[in-house]
Structure 1
Amino acid sequence: MRQRYLALLSMFASLPAMALTFQTRLENIEWKVEGDKFECRLIQPITDFGSGAFVRRAGEQAVFRLNAYNSMMGEGSATLLAAAAPWQPGRGDINLGAVRINRGHVLFNSSQAQAGSLVRGLLEGRSPLVRHYSSSGGLSEVRLLPVKFRQAYGDYEACTAKLLPKNFEQVRQTQIGFPGGGIELDAQARINLQVMVDYMKADPTVNHVTLDGHSDNTGNRLTNRDLSRRRALAVMDYFKENGLQESQITLRFHGEQYPLVRNSSAANRAKNRRVSVRLDRTPEPEKTAPAASVINPASVS
């Protein structure tokens, strides 16, 4: 009897750990498109888990993001696949490499290349699949289905077509060059400034500009300081012509004091003739609470 019991224990110990799979039922599959000028999201909710989403920010390509309400996956590495559908005989899964599972609601953001491969796979009927083995050998899988994807993807592309050309991190700091040595804005400078102006118009929380004018070391210090001031003024005038108030602009000028590169060649001196532009969000002043009403006890009958 003891030998049979030990044999049963050995058999169960040799069985693989039960796989835990999260997948929405076919009849309940939906794709949702959300977004604005700053970010577009193409989302499939996953029953009892969270959601998978393609997220594209302005100025960037999309990434794939896995969100969880309360993830049963532990931290560590998982495999991302573009899995073939059961009704596609002869087609194997495509291994897109590893992703790092983190704590919190956002388990991971894929690379842009991985997200591009997942989109192409969905258009071919493949499923994004995340496969994770725990330290104890347990298997967890999260799968999205390609049902209704093509139509939703069209709506998502319409959203991405309206994204701004750059996001805040990309547009926040820009060097406006004066390679010819003068104080006039050239065509490239106007293009770069217009991108910043368009962003500020779309995001009213970005409401302050700091301008730092610079020169090379060709002239004397007084001349260089004046050149850097007039270049900064030219940039300030462009912002004012496009709706900014002078109170939103801080203007500084430094002459040759802070070169970007050494003034050791004509090309380097051209780089140093510039205005550094920085956009900032100025926090709104805190609202003070109204003073509490004070009742004079003597006046209460």
Structure 2
Amino acid sequence: MRQRYLALLSVFASLPAMALTFQTRLESIEWTVEGDKFECRLTQPITDFGSGEFVRRAGEQATFRLKAYNAVMGGGSATLLAAAAPWQPGRGDINLGSVHIGSGNVLFNTSQVQAGRLINGLMDGRSPVIRRASGDGRVSEVRLLPVKFNKAFNDYQSCVAKLLPKNFEQVKQAQIGFPGEGNDLDAQAKAQLQVMLEFMKADPTVNHVELDGHSDNSGNRLTNRDLSRRRALAVVDFFKANGIQESQITVRFHGERYPLVPNTSSANRAKNRRVNVHLARVAPAEPAAPQTTASASTAKNS
């Protein structure tokens, strides 16, 4: 391992004089892992610059983002590399395409594919490198090192294993189907609702459920309206049975008024038999200010 460190030092010492390189000293390299059920982060601080971090949200693959204290790199296009390790001669850098350096604290977010290739490169001893050439020929480079990566990546994987199946954007809306003509929830419907329920329990700020019941046009309008109501109430019963208070649920039912597709076939009619579920964050109502009646005010002043 010491030979690898010495090889790295020799490479950095040989960088062109015009290159401005940001990287942490080998003896100070660290990877940190933070996260919860919603997001996991694997981060390497970069001395005098900021940090590079892999971020994986619930329900998604990881992306890589570069954070900076200032705008020393400038804006514009930069090249993303999985740079070859100096102790493995004969291997070239892998060009992972371009990224756009923006303003603000987060300079860019990669695609999920780019992040996956960076992780594979780190596992193979490669360094993530962001290299930007300015118009006057100056090169700015930010480099992360693979030192201590494997252990940190194992901790990161342990965090990922505890992520929820979906994030809020993915879970906040669902369409619960009723393939049959009744109002019973089938296994697929219950599985969809269970995912939403788990998210509500994990994030108490998601505290309200809005339900809209729908039917096809098979019966008369009154029958269809009642069917849409009973389908919405079946979803209400599911949430109530799993700890959601009725006061947290808003129910509407529309009968056949809002079809997803024309009711021109049995397949289309099945699609229109549904309950749309929407999760929301609703702030608690502010308590009304106490009011003093005229008689009480008079009594106080008498």
Distance in 2, matches of 1:162 and 1:286, equals: 36
Question: 1:136-183 CA distances to partner (integer Å, 9 max, x unpaired)?
Answer: 332100000000000000000000000000000000000000011110
- Taking only the aligned residue pairs, the percentage that are identical comes to 76
Tell me what 1:7 maps to.
Answer: none
- 1:61 corresponds to: 61
**Which letter maps to 1:170?**
Q
In 1, distance between residues paired with 2:102 and 2:125?
Answer: 28
Structure 1's 17 and 87: CA in aligned 2 closer, same or farther, altered over 3 A?
Answer: closer
| SS class of match (2:43) | strand
The answer on whether the counterparts of 1:99 and 1:110 sit within 8 Å (CA) in structure 2 is yes
Matches within 5 A, 1:49-128: 49-128=49-128
Q: Following TM superposition, by how much is the alpha carbon of 1:289 offset from its aligned partner in structure 2, in angstroms? A: 10
Q: Which residue of 1 aligns with 2:207?
A: 207
Q: 1:99 to 1:251 in 2, by over 3 A?
A: same
Q: CA deviation at 1:71?
A: 2.6
Report the secondary structure of 1:132's partner residue. Answer: strand
Aligned: 1:37 with 2:57: no
In the alignment, the residues of structure 1 paired with residue 27 and residue 222 of structure 2 have an alpha-carbon distance, to the nearest angstrom, of: 75
**Structure 1 unmatched ranges of 5 or more:** 1-15, 291-301
TM-score using structure 1 length: 0.89
Partner-residue secondary structure (3-state), 1:114: helix
Distance 1:124 1:235, change over 3 A: same
Partner of 1:171: 171
Question: Could you tell me the TM-score, scaled by structure 2's length?
Answer: 0.89
Distance change in 2, residues 1:286/1:53 (3 Å)? farther
Secondary structure in 2 aligned to 1:81? strand
Deviation at 1:184, TM superposition (A): 0.1
Which residue identity lines up with residue 41 of structure 1 in the other structure? R
- Give the stretch that moved more between structures: 134-143 or 116-125: 134-143
Q: Indicate the residue corresponding to 1:240 in structure 2.
A: 240
Rate the CA distance shift 1:252–1:68 in 2: closer, same or farther, 3 A: same
Matched, 1:218 2:218: yes
**Aligned ranges for residues 7-18 of structure 1 at < 5 Å?**
18=18
Q: How many residues align?
A: 275
Structure 2 distance, partners of 1:62, 1:168, is 16
For residue 285 of structure 1, report the CA deviation from its aligned partner. Answer: 4.2
Q: Report the counterpart of residue 153 of structure 2 in structure 1.
A: 153
Change (3 A) 1:161 1:249: same
Gap change, CA 1:288 and 1:50, over 3 Å in 2? farther
Alignment-derived partner of residue 23 in structure 1: 23
Alignment correspondent of 1:294: none
| Alignment partners' CA distance in 1, 2:134 and 2:263 | 58
Mapped to 1, the partners of 2:153 and 2:260 lie a distance apart of 44
Distance 1:48 1:262 in 2: 61
Structure 2 unaligned blocks of 5 or more: 1-15, 291-302
Quick one: distance in 2 between partners of 1:22 and 1:87?
Answer: 21
Kept in 2, the 8 Å contact 1:208–1:279? The answer is yes
Residue 136, structure 1, aligned to residue 136, structure 2: yes
Contact 1:17/1:139 (CA < 8 Å) preserved in 2?
Answer: no
For 1:254, the equivalent position in structure 2 comes to 254
Amino acid at match of 1:239: F
Q: Which amino acid aligns with 1:67?
A: K
- For 1:78 and 1:171, the matched residues in 2 are separated by 35
Cα distance in structure 1, aligned partners of 2:286 and 2:25: 49
Letter in 2 for 1:229: R
CA 1:286 to 1:17, structure 2 compared with 1: closer, same or farther past 3 Å?
farther
> Equivalents in 1 of 2:236, 2:49: separation in Å?
51
Q: Structure 2 CA distance, aligned partners of 1:202 and 1:161?
A: 15
Closer, same or farther: CA 286–86 of 1 in aligned 2, 3 Å: farther
Q: How far, CA to CA, are the matches of 1:288 and 1:72 in structure 2?
A: 51
Q: Which amino acid aligns with 2:122?
A: L
Give me the CA root mean square deviation.
1.5
Asked whether the equivalents of residues 54 and 115 of structure 1 are also in contact (C-alpha less than 8 Å), the reply is: yes
